A = this chain, B = another copy of it.
Amino acid sequence: VDTSLIPQGQAHLDDLTKPRGSLGRLEEVALRLYLISGGSKPSVDPARIFTIAGDHGVAAEGVSLFPQEVSRQMVLNFANGGAGINVLARTAGIGLSVVDAGTVGGTYPEHPALIQRKVRPGTDNLAVGPAMSVEDCTRALELGIDLANMAADEGCRAVGTGDMGIANTTPSTALFCAYLGLDPEKITGPGTGLAADGLRRKIEVIRRGLAANQTAVTSGDPLRILAALGGLEIAALSGLIIGAAGRRMAVAVDGFISTAAYVSAWKLCPAVADYCFLSHASAEPGYASIMQALKADPLLHLGLRLGEGTGAAMALFVMRSAAAIFNEMATFSGAGVCKA
């Protein structure tokens, strides 16, 4: 973004009928959206959330409370409008597309809300080797870029990221460790609800995965790391973020898994940072350390840990409110209000 626009955006915010800075983070968001819009009216509407699903070979290690078939069942639940993200996207007036990037099993029945672009049916077990080849990872990234272009062509001004994939906090945690140099012990959490022994096992699985993929990790090559430790939905979300930034759309990054996709995208293409808004502080206990490492502070603190894009839906409402403040409030002179 063109940071030379900051003074003029800030001057506009300071001329609105409110004490300077009194709308806090709404003003910060408004200014960033103004930069993203290149100095014209900031907006996030229309917005579309992509909830992208993929399965994980590492589920075989017993790192999740839910069986793997739940990924597929949830894709159908998304298509039928019954999941948390359906409700929250609807409530916020945001479009939703469900994408199969790589769940286990064959194709789904045709459904207007479901985009079937399976790269492959699930990844391999990252605990024993690379989750996928660099080629498959690239195809998943390209899928995400396609989705961004689809949204941009539709006229979207913002996208939200959402994930579904049983066991996907495990690859996400591994990616945070590899990209940010964090310790699995410190940032591994219970996901959908592991007890202490399950958590212990999950930490060991991630350690094994980092060791089994040491060549990729130490290469520092973000694409090789994403292929070795990521997932198909995570890579597709990274592509979505890169593609959205390329088309100058704002991105509401959902929680733990989407943040792993964001970090991957940022390592691949640092310019995406200007376009991304971290939605909410995931209740996963490692999230705070990750935010520290990123020097970031998400918009919402609602204790969410569902994924699917639920935090992105809520954050897009905050971003919409921020844009409206910038565009619709009266100025001191216009409203005849004395300045301090």
A150 to B24, CA, bound (A): 32
Beta-carbon contacts of A308-340 to B below 8 Å, as 1s and 0s? Answer: 001001100110110011001110001111101
User: What's the number of copies of this chain in the assembled complex?
Assistant: 2
Q: Please tell me which stretch of A200-208, A242-250, A270-278, A298-306 contacts chain B, meaning at least 4 of its Cβ atoms lie within 8 angstroms of it.
A: A298-306
**B306, A19: Cβ atoms closer than 8 Å:** yes
Give the contact-size bracket for chain A.
35 or more
Q: Select from chain B the residue with minimum beta-carbon distance to A22.
A: B306
Instruction: Collect the chain B residues with CB atoms within 8 Å of residue A305's CB.
Output: 19, 22, 24
Instruction: Collect the chain B residues with CB atoms within 8 Å of residue A17's CB.
Output: 74, 77, 82-84
Say if the beta carbon of A155 comes within 8 Å of chain B.
Answer: no
Instruction: Collect the chain B residues with CB atoms within 8 Å of residue A25's CB.
Output: 302-304
Instruction: Collect the chain B residues with CB atoms within 8 Å of residue A90's CB.
Output: 324, 328
Given the interface pairs A20-B193, A91-B320, A324-B90, the reply to whether A336 lies near B26 with Cβ below 8 Å is no
A69 to B26, CA, bound (A): 27
Instruction: Collect the chain B residues with CB atoms within 8 Å of residue A303's CB.
Output: 24-25
**Apart from A16-B84, A80-B335, what 18 extra A-B contacts exist at CB < 8 Å?**
A18-B83, A19-B193, A22-B305, A25-B304, A26-B302, A70-B338, A73-B336, A82-B330, A82-B334, A84-B325, A86-B328, A87-B325, A88-B321, A90-B324, A92-B321, A192-B340, A314-B318, A314-B321
- A-B pairs with the 6 shortest C-beta distances? A24-B303, A82-B330, A19-B192, A65-B340, A22-B306, A73-B337
